[in-house]
Amino acid sequence: MADLSLSTGLPETSPDVWKHEHVLDVDDFSRDEIDLVHEVADAMGEILTREVKKVPTLRGKTVVTMFYEASTRTRASFELAAKNLSADTVNLDASKSSVTKGESFIDSLRTIQALGADVIIIRHSHSGAPYLASRSVHAHIVNAGDGWHAHPSQSLLDTYTIRKHLGTLEDKKIAIVGDILHSRVAHSNLWGMSKLGAQIVLCGPQTLLPLDTEGFISRSGLSGVTVEPVIEKALKDADIVMALRLQLERQQAGLLPTIREYVQRYAITAERLRLAKPNALLLHPGPVNEGIELSPEVAYGAQSVIQEQVTNGVAIRMALLYLVCGRKHN
Amino acid sequence: MARDLLIIGGRIIDADQNIDAAGDLLISDGKFSQIGSPGTLPSKNADVIDAAGCIVCQGFIDLHCHLRDPGFEEKETIATGTKAAAAGGFTTVCCMPNTNPPIDSRASVEYVIRTAAQSGTIRVLPIGCITKGRKGAELSEMYDLADAGVIGFSDDGSTVANPQLLQKAMEYSRTLGLPIIEHCEDPMLAKDGYMHEGWVSTRLGLKGVPTAAEEVIIARDIALAQLTKAKLHIAHVSTAGSVEMIRRAKEAGISITAEVTPHHLTLTHERVMRTGRGNRSELLYDTNAKVNPPLRTEEDIAALIAGLKAGVIDCIATDHAPHHEIDKLCEFGLAAFGISGFETALGSLMTLVHNGHLDMKALIAALTAVPSRILGKNYGIPAGIKIGSTADIVIFDPDKEWTVRSSDFASKGKNTPLEGQALKGKVKATIYYGAVVYSEG
């Protein structure tokens, strides 16, 4: 455990396992780096329990959120994380302003850099946009969700939440149910969870799975990931069940005959959840479509850790901001 | 009187005449005046090009390129595009009509021909639109376009989605004796797709274009070609399934030809994700590898090479598609499709020769004699290396190693996925009508 005496702020030195200028996805995180994020998040979580939830770690730093896609939760979480660390924050709702003015992404980034941003947190509807950003400006880039590709802070908070309950992900069976194909949360979790030793089962209708999921798993070098389209089999003896948000436009795009049929086949209900282990955890990245991917009784039931995920999200994002730019550089 | 040009010490390959021999060439007044054994031709009053270690063959013919002129002069002009083509060893290029305005009227055909005559370096043969404005709704004035000088018809960039309209276009083109050049891509299957649908598209979270998007249209077009007996030329074949369908169509006696690009023969969809250089773990999302049809898999490449060797795929065309930096320096999904291909074509293709996948003579045939035959008419393209013929030739060193630097391109389009890559095989000089139009600097 890193020495994190937080009463007067975070330590000026910390283990040199951390290699990242940017947080783009967890696919290139080492196991030690994930462990470090979780350890720092523990310390951050302690700050969040104080009456004054603020430390001066990022005082004088400017953190800009640049959201090219509507988001309330993730943006609020990052903003609170930055504020808890005493950073100055600026929120740019790029989905409304610059795009309609025809301003290019690169130009917006350069402008924000010229305004003095130290960290730029990006949510973008186009996969890969944060990678382009990381090559275009000097500021640290944190990916807050890019297209269908990745959502690293979500994966880190999901694995953190699981660890807090079960201690480990090693050999735990995790069923991820729903729209795998379009889910950046699922994609990042494939990396994050498999790096921590979990056995992952992907479950959903074929139209919401990649064309060749097995090929993708083997060619990408993922281990411990399988596909099971029958939800009863996927949930059987699971330690963790993660439901994904179903974007309702998938039905309009012809990927699902009706929402009704999807609910019948793939909703996590109390009855289905009983197929998992007795105290299996239920996760969801939010916001929940109640009565679609989750029935209300399980969404708010005893096994649900959905609210904890939200709280842990702030601690994880504080940890990430601290690790990318809060430490003294050599 | 212009001085003669003497090319000495090269290996002369002419695919059509089945020539492959060491020899010298004397060019006078733009034509071959003497062909002889090494050291036997007079050098008096002649400029001499030493082609030792080089191959000398007919100038390359590209059935598919984009010169962007008129309308997109920031990407390329007829002047810069033909200069780049010459640097790549081409002496004849056929340019696609997706300009602004599109080449769908006599006036715009005449613009291309006139501009090429004024500012072009090599022979430019325009292709006319199948439909007005490439909108897929009404036929363009195909008789008028043919009279003005188009060598075929294409809505390249888009498939003619309405099969009834394509049938009518084929009936017109058959009467005119000109090919329909189809860009085969089902617009619904390919909708919003950015790259090949496969494990890399999943890995990168990008919507994919399935191989079937190309294949369903090829199947449809083969049926229409059979019905109308029109000449059908399939542009930029990219999948193994397409090769198989074209093979069967040829066996059935249908009038169909096909081309493949250097990039589809040498690069896979993995190129979008990262380069072959170093062990960078960072994902690239390389917009310079974003091209339509998309780069496919190793299996597709193997089938394309086998198809080329077997004559199922007739020829190689670059689909040179230059873009401005701002068209590529953006989010992957927003980036333009296309690769600037003239100046890397030979070096890329020589990889196949050096690796033993393709015979040198077959490669040269696919770049010269075969595309000439597909065009079907003369258009001033010389029949090969023979006395009295116009001297359009390329001299290239098959073993010269060089590194791709797009900043050195004559093309305005610096959009290459091969930046920094070492290639083996480079053009030394290109000669058009007996004059040196490119010489390695």
B324-373 residue pLDDT tens: 999 999 999 999 999 999 999 999 999 999 999 999 999 999 999 999 99
Q: Is residue A17 part of a domain?
A: no
User: What's the pLDDT score for residue A328?
Assistant: 62
- Tell me what percent of the residues of chain A surpass a pLDDT of 70: 92
Tally of CB atoms within 10 A around B38 = 13
Whether the predicted pLDDT of A330 surpasses 80: no
* Residue B440 burial (C-beta neighbours within 10 Å; 0-12, 13-18, 19+): middle
pLDDT single digits (tens) B68-125:
999 999 999 999 999 999 999 999 999 999 999 999 999 999 999 999 999 999 999 9
Statement to judge: residues A64 and A198 lie in one domain: no
pLDDT of A211: 86
B chain contacts of residue A211, beta-carbon cutoff 8 Å: 197-198, 202, 208, 210
Question: How far is the alpha carbon of A53 from chain B, nearest alpha carbon, in Å?
Answer: 35
Asked whether residue A330 is assigned to any structural domain, the reply reads no
Is A137 an 8 Å CB contact of chain B? no
Which among B305, B334, B394, B401 is positioned nearest to B58, based on CA atoms? B394
B205–A128 CB contact, under 8 Å: yes
Q: Does residue A243 register a pLDDT over 70?
A: yes
Q: Which residue has the higher pLDDT, B383 or B340?
A: B340
Whether residue A273 is found in the same domain as residue A157? yes
Residue A102 has pLDDT above 70, yes or no: no
CA distance B274 to B11: 38
Domain for residue A219, yes or no?
yes
Average pLDDT on B39-66 reads 96
- pLDDT at res. B193: 97
Of A105, A187, A213, the CB nearest to B331: A105
First CA to last CA distance, chain A: 22
Which helix (H) or strand (E) segment is B7 a member of?
Answer: strand B4-14
Instruction: Give A280-321 pLDDT, tens digit per residue.
Output: 999 999 999 999 999 999 999 999 999 999 999 999 999 999
Q: What is the CATH number of the domain that holds A58?
A: 3.40.50.1370
Q: Are residues A162 and A112 in the same domain?
A: no
Residue A290's SS3 state is strand
Residues 6+ apart with CB under 8 A from B101: B70, B71, B108, B133
Same domain, A139 and A163: no
Q: What is the pLDDT of residues B268-323, one digit of tens each?
A: 999 999 754 444 456 889 999 999 999 999 999 999 999 999 999 999 999 999 99
Assign A251 a pLDDT band (cuts: 50, 70, 90): confident
Contact criterion met (CB < 8 Å) for A132 and B285: yes
Q: Could you tell me what percent of chain B has a pLDDT over 70?
A: 98
Question: Given a cut of 70, is residue A202 above it in pLDDT?
Answer: yes
Q: Does A21 map to a domain?
A: no
| Cα nearest neighbour of B191 on chain A | A253
Q: Which residues of B touch A25 (CB under 8 A)?
A: 283
Structure tokens at B126: 């325009």
Using a CB-CB cut-off of 8 Å, the residues of chain B touching A149 are: 204-206
Q: How many CA atoms lie within 13 A of B365 on its CB side?
A: 18
Q: Do B202 and A213 touch (CB under 8 A)?
A: yes
Among A235, A236, A256, which residue's Cα sits nearest to residue A247? A256
For chain B, give every domain's residue range.
4-55+389-439, 60-375
Q: What is the pLDDT of residues B402-439, one digit of tens each?
A: 999 999 999 999 999 999 999 999 999 999 999 999 99
| Residue B155 among the catalytic residues | no
Confidence tier at B43 by pLDDT (50, 70, 90): confident
**C-alpha to C-alpha distances, B242 to A321, B236, B260, B383, nearest whole angstrom:** 50, 10, 11, 31
What's the total number of domains in chain A?
A: 2
Residue A70 CB neighbours (<10 A): 11
Q: What pLDDT sits at residue B383?
A: 87
pLDDT, greater one: B225 or A92: B225
Residues A169 and A282 grouped into a single domain:
yes
Residue B441 pLDDT: 79
Q: Verify that A141 and A182 share a domain, yes or no.
A: no
State the CATH architecture for B4-55+389-439. Answer: Roll (2.30)
Please tell me whether residues A158 and A134 are part of one structural domain. no
pLDDT band at residue A253 under the 50/70/90 scheme: confident
Determine whether the interchain pair B331/A28 forms a contact, defined as Cβ–Cβ distance below 8 Å: no
Whether A122 and A160 share a structural domain: no
Tokens of A168: 């480990």
pLDDT at A1 over 60: no
Q: Is A297 left (phi over 0), alpha (psi -120 to 50) or beta?
A: alpha
- In this prediction the ipTM stands at 0.94
Task: Give the C-alpha separation, A290 to A293, whole Å.
Answer: 7
Instruction: Choose the weakest-confidence range: A172-186, A246-260, B233-247, B252-266.
Output: A246-260
Residue contact B203–A184, C-beta within 8 A: no
Residues A135 and A207 in one domain: no
CB B422 within 8 A of CB B351: no
Instruction: Report yes or no on A131 lying in a domain.
Output: yes
CA nearest B55: which of B438, B430, B432?
B430
Select from B197, B199, B325 the residue whose CB has the most chain A CBs within 10 Å, as the one to mutate to test that interface: B199
Name which of B188, B269, B285 to mutate to probe chain A: the one with the most chain A Cβ atoms within 10 A of its Cβ.
Answer: B285
Average pLDDT of span A164-170: 98
Cβ–Cβ below 8 Å for A127 and B199: no
**Mean pLDDT in residue range B396-402:** 98
Q: From chain B, pick out residues whose CB is under 8 angstroms from the CB of A134.
A: 282
Question: What is the model's pLDDT at position B281?
Answer: 55
Q: What is the CATH number of domain B60-375?
A: 3.20.20.140
What global pTM score does this model have? 0.95
Domain that holds residue A127: 31-151+311-325
Give the pLDDT of residue A13. 45
Of B69, B221, B319, B392, the catalytic one is B319
The answer to whether residue A5 sits within a structural domain is no
What pLDDT digit, counting tens, does each position of B181-219 carry? 999 999 999 999 999 999 999 999 999 999 999 999 999
CA dist A199 → A29, A155, B412, B414 (Å)? 18, 15, 51, 45
List phi, psi (to 5°) of A137.
-135, 165
pLDDT band at A2 (very low <50, low <70, confident <90, very high): very low
